[in-house]
């Protein structure tokens, strides 16, 4: 999924944190809610400006960010 259609950063909105385009709903808020067990349906109910597609885009954004930020495991020495 191309999350860039859903997630933006603007220094004038929420201090530049990533948010869902056209909202003030931060990526961090949605990810924290998911981590605590909220469902996509609950999130859409709690934040009417969200769509299920936007929530999936946030998950894709987090997956991409984790892949870019995690160090690669050390390669075993050839012996």
**3 state SS for the chain:** CCHHHCEECCCCCHHHCCEECCCCCEHHHHHHHHHCCCCHHHHHHHCCCCCHHHHHHHHHHHHHHHHHHCCCCCCCCCC
**If you average pLDDT over residues 51-63, what whole number do you get?**
95
For the stretch 65-79, pLDDT in tens is 887 665 666 666 665
pLDDT at 5: 94
Query: Has residue 6 got a pLDDT over 60?
Result: yes
Domains and CATH numbers, the chain: 3-69 (1.10.10.10)
Average pLDDT over residues 26-49: 97
Output the average pLDDT for the chain.
Answer: 89
Read off the pLDDT of each residue in 58-69 and give the average, rounded to a whole number: 85
């Amino acid at each position: 999924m191309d999350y860039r259609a859903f997630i933006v950063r603007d220094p004038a909105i929420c201090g530049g944190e990533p948010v869902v385009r056209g909202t003030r709903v931060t990526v961090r808020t949605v990810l924290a809610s998911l981590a605590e067990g909220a469902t996509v349906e609950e999130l859409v109910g709690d934040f009417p400006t969200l769509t299920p597609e936007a929530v999936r885009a946030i998950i894709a954004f987090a997956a991409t960010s984790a892949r870019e930020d995690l160090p690669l495991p050390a390669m075993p020495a050839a012996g």
